[in-house]
C-alpha cells in the first residue's frame, strides 16, 4: 500500500477509535490501532489542527491529571430520518452523536402517498440542514432496495426514489437508506455480539436477523396464514390482517374497522 494511502488509513482508524470510545487515552488508541506512539502523536496533532479532535484533562486524585481525547462536537453533523405510516421524524446529531434538533411531520391519510411523503421528507431535511452536514440516514417501512422505497402498503408508497430527492433535488452529498427493522437490527448488533432475530410489532409486523455481520430481512407481515381476510396489500389471509394492532383493535371494539382509517 502506498505511503499516502497508509497515512490516510491510519488517520481514519484513529478517528474511528476515538469516535467509538469518546474520552479515550492515547495509550488506548495506540492499543486499538496498533500504531507506535510517535506515529499516533503526529496523527493526533494533525487531527487537532484540522478541528476534528479536542483533549480534556481528567482529575484522578493524586498525581498528574490524565488527558483523554474526544471528538470535537462541532466538526461535523449527521441527520437521521424515520419514514413511517403516522409521521416523518428527523433528528440532527453533532459529531458525538448527541441529538441537538428535532422536527417531525404528521402524516394524515390524504397525504399518505408518494407526493405527500416527498414533501414531508423535504420539509424535515430543510429544518435539519446545517453547515458541515456530513450525511443523512433514512429508514422506512416496506421493501427497500438500493436508493428506493420499492413498496410500502402501510404508507401507500411505490417506487419512491430517495436518491433522486436527497441528492439531485436537495443537494445532500451522502445518504444511506435502510428498511426500519433492518436499521433497528443493525443498531442492536453494536451491543449484542452473537446472532439474533429482531421482530417489530405494530400496525405492521416486521423481522430482521443478524448473522455473519449483516442483516437479513424477512417480510413476515404478509405471510399467508389463513384463507380469509382481505389484506390492504391485496392478498387474502396475511399475518398482519389477523394479528397486528389493527386486528387486536378490531376484535376489542367488536366491529369492522377500515384498516386505512
Question: Using one digit for the tens of pLDDT, what is the confidence trace for 124-172?
Answer: 999 999 999 999 999 999 999 989 999 998 899 999 999 999 999 999 9
65 secondary structure, DSSP code: P
CA neighbor of 221 nearest in space, from 145, 107, 142: 142
Rounded Cα gap, residues 14 and 37, in angstroms: 12
5: helix, strand or coil? helix
The domain 77-184: what is its CATH number?
3.30.420.40
Q: Is the pLDDT of residue 84 over 80?
A: yes
Pick the CATH number of 3-71 from 2.60.40.420, 3.30.70.120, 3.40.718.10, 1.10.10.10: 1.10.10.10
d(CA 169, CA 163): 9
Q: How far apart (Å, rounded) are the C-alpha atoms in residues 219 and 26?
A: 46
Compute the mean pLDDT over every residue in the chain, rounded to the nearest whole number.
Answer: 91
Task: For 56-83, write each residue's pLDDT tens digit.
Answer: 877 665 656 678 999 999 999 999 999 9
22 sits in the region (left: phi over 0; alpha: psi -120 to 50; else beta) called beta
Residue 234: what pLDDT?
Answer: 87
Q: Where in the chain is the domain with CATH 3.30.420.40?
A: 77-184
Amino acid at each position: 500500500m502506498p505511503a499516502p494511502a497508509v497515512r490516510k488509513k491510519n488517520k481514519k482508524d484513529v478517528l474511528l477509535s476515538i469516535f467509538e470510545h469518546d474520552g479515550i487515552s492515547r495509550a488506548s488508541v495506540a492499543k486499538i490501532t496498533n500504531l507506535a506512539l510517535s506515529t499516533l502523536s503526529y496523527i493526533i496533532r494533525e487531527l487537532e489542527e484540522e478541528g476534528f479532535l479536542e483533549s480534556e484533562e481528567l482529575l484522578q486524585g493524586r498525581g498528574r491529571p490524565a488527558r483523554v481525547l474526544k471528538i470535537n462536537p462541532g466538526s461535523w453533523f449527521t441527520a437521521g430520518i424515520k419514514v413511517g405510516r403516522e409521521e416523518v421524524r428527523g433528528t440532527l446529531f453533532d459529531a458525538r452523536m448527541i441529538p441537538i434538533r428535532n422536527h417531525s411531520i404528521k402524516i394524515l391519510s390524504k397525504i399518505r402517498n408518494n407526493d405527500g411523503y416527498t414533501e414531508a421528507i423535504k420539509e424535515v431535511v430543510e429544518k435539519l440542514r446545517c453547515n458541515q452536514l456530513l450525511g443523512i440516514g433514512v429508514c422506512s417501512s416496506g421493501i427497500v432496495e438500493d436508493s428506493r422505497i420499492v413498496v410500502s402498503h402501510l404508507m401507500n408508497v411505490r417506487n419512491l426514489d430517495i436518491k433522486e430527492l436527497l441528492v439531485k433535488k436537495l443537494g445532500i452529498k451522502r445518504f444511506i437508506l435502510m428498511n426500519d427493522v433492518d436499521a433497528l437490527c443493525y443498531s442492536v448488533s453494536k451491543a449484542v455480539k452473537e446472532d439474533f432475530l429482531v421482530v417489530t410489532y405494530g400496525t405492521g409486523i416486521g423481522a430482521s436477523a443478524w448473522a455473519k455481520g449483516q442483516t437479513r430481512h424477512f417480510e413476515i407481515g404478509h405471510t399467508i396464514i389463513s384463507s380469509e381476510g382481505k389484506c390492504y396489500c391485496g392478498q387474502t389471509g396475511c399475518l398482519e390482517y389477523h394479528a397486528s394492532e389493527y386486528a387486536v383493535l378490531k376484535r376489542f371494539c367488536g366491529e369492522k374497522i377500515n384498516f386505512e382509517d
